Structures are given as C-alpha cells and as structure tokens.
Chain A
Amino acid sequence: MSETEHEPDVTVDSRGATCPGPLMDLIGKVKESDPGTVIELQTSDNGSKSDVPEWLDEAGHDLLEVVDHDDYWSMYVEIN
C-alpha cells in the first residue's frame, strides 16, 4: 500500500467497473458533495487515469494525487 498525505471525506469504490463506470460514480458523488470535500476514487479501469483528469479540468475541480496500488489506482479529488 502506497503512502498518501490525503485523508478522503468519502471513498468511491469503482474497482472492476469499466468506462464510463468510475467516471459516472465520481460525477454522481461530486454532485452531492460540498466544496472542499475530498473524494477518493478507487478504479481499476486503465482509461480513468486520463479520462478523470480531463473531466475534472472541464468541471473545475482539482486532482490532488493519484496513488498506484498494484491492481487499482486511488485518485484523490477535491471539489471546488
């Protein structure tokens, strides 16, 4: 398990889901969360690594960090 300094308020476990599952799960959670909330998105979908940052750019939220676990990634997102 990799180290991270980020402590998520919410964790979204989308492991096993393919595109657009993890992104849709993240968007759903972003919509119901307040600014300042830190979300950890767990995804095993390779495409999430490029697609989630693209979506965040357009939506105006921050990608804090991506932590590579062996069989999935944790993407830490802060809502603006």
Chain B
Amino acid sequence: MTGYAIVLASRKLSRVQAVSTIASVAAASDVPVEVFATMEGLLPFERETVESGEFEVGPVGARMLEAEDMDVPLFTEQFAQAKEIGPLRLYACEMAMDLMGQDLDDYVDVFDDSLGVSGFLNRAQDKQVVFV
C-alpha cells in the first residue's frame, strides 16, 4: 500500500476540513494522496460557496469559522499549500458535475482534473481507500 485514496462525498465543513488536514500532512510527508470529490462533496468547492463562506456546519465547523483568536486556514488554502510541497491530487467527479450542470471553472482552483469512476478506481488500486 502506498498512500491514500480519499472519497469525499459530504458537504459538511468539518468533514471536508478533516480531509484537507489529513491529506495535507500526508502529502507533505511524501505519502501520495488522491482525493475524489463526488456527490455533495463537490459543493463546498463551488466558488460562490467559498466566497460567501456559507458552508454546512456543525458546532466545530461553526467555531472554526467564527474563531478570531485562532488562525484556521480553510480547506481550500490547505489543499493549495499541500499540492505545492507533496504528492496530492484532487479530482472532481464528472457525474456529479454533469448533474449540477457545472464544469471545473465553477470550482475553486484546486482540482487537477475531472474524473469518472474507472479513473478513480485505477488511481486507488495501490492505495488505502478512505470514504468520508
């Protein structure tokens, strides 16, 4: 096993943020990570959502957004920073994009490409799959 293939299918900020945190540290430590954002997991990456900050939040996510005494970088920044220093790739699910009538330009600039199920499975072959 060499690395992680993470399926992100939730729009909840705390889940997305946990994925970006774990994926970032792994990639920075030279552990390869592929993130496949599918279904509702694509929604937090919409430019409009990121700009407005209107995420679906639970108590921890809400505290994260409100905290003025702590500097918590949003998942978009974490992904962008980690991609510069380690083997981290993000893919947007083609089917979910089609369903929503969107393309990659509708999302913040962290995706390497769009991908279908076979493409994801190929990339996940030698990795531990984590479903979030």
A24-B81, A27-B85 given; A16·B21 CB < 8 A:
no
Q: Are B72 and A18 in contact (CB under 8 A)?
A: yes
Count, chain A residues at interface, CB 8 A: 14
Which chain A residue lies CB-closest to B69? Answer: A16
| Cross-chain contact of B29 among A17, A18, A21, A55 (Cβ < 8 A) | A55
**A50-79 Cβ-contact flags toward B at 8 Å (1 or 0):** 000001001100000000000000000000
Beyond A18-B72, A24-B28, A27-B29: 13 further Cβ-contacts under 8 Å? Answer: A17-B73, A18-B71, A19-B21, A21-B73, A23-B25, A24-B24, A24-B78, A24-B81, A24-B82, A24-B85, A27-B28, A55-B29, A59-B29
What residues of B have a CB within 8 angstroms of the CB of A58 in the complex? 29
What residues of A have a CB within 8 angstroms of the CB of B71 in the complex? 16-18, 21
Secondary structure at the B interface, as helix, strand, loop or mixed, is helix
Q: Within residues 2 to 38 of chain A, which ones have a CB less than 8 A from any CB in chain B?
A: 16-21, 23-24, 27-28, 31
- Listed by A's residue number, 10 A-B pairs whose Cβ atoms lie within 8 Å are A17-B71, A18-B72, A21-B73, A24-B24, A24-B25, A24-B28, A24-B78, A24-B81, A28-B28, A28-B85
What residues of B have a CB within 8 angstroms of the CB of A16 in the complex? 70-71
A-binding residues in B (CB < 8 A): 21, 24-25, 28-29, 70-73, 78, 81-82, 85
What residues of A have a CB within 8 angstroms of the CB of B72 in the complex? 18
CB distance from A74 to the nearest CB of B (A): 19
Compute how far the CA of A59 lies from the CA of B71 in the bound complex, rounded to whole angstroms.
26
Compute how far the CA of A27 lies from the CA of B81 in the bound complex, rounded to whole angstroms.
12
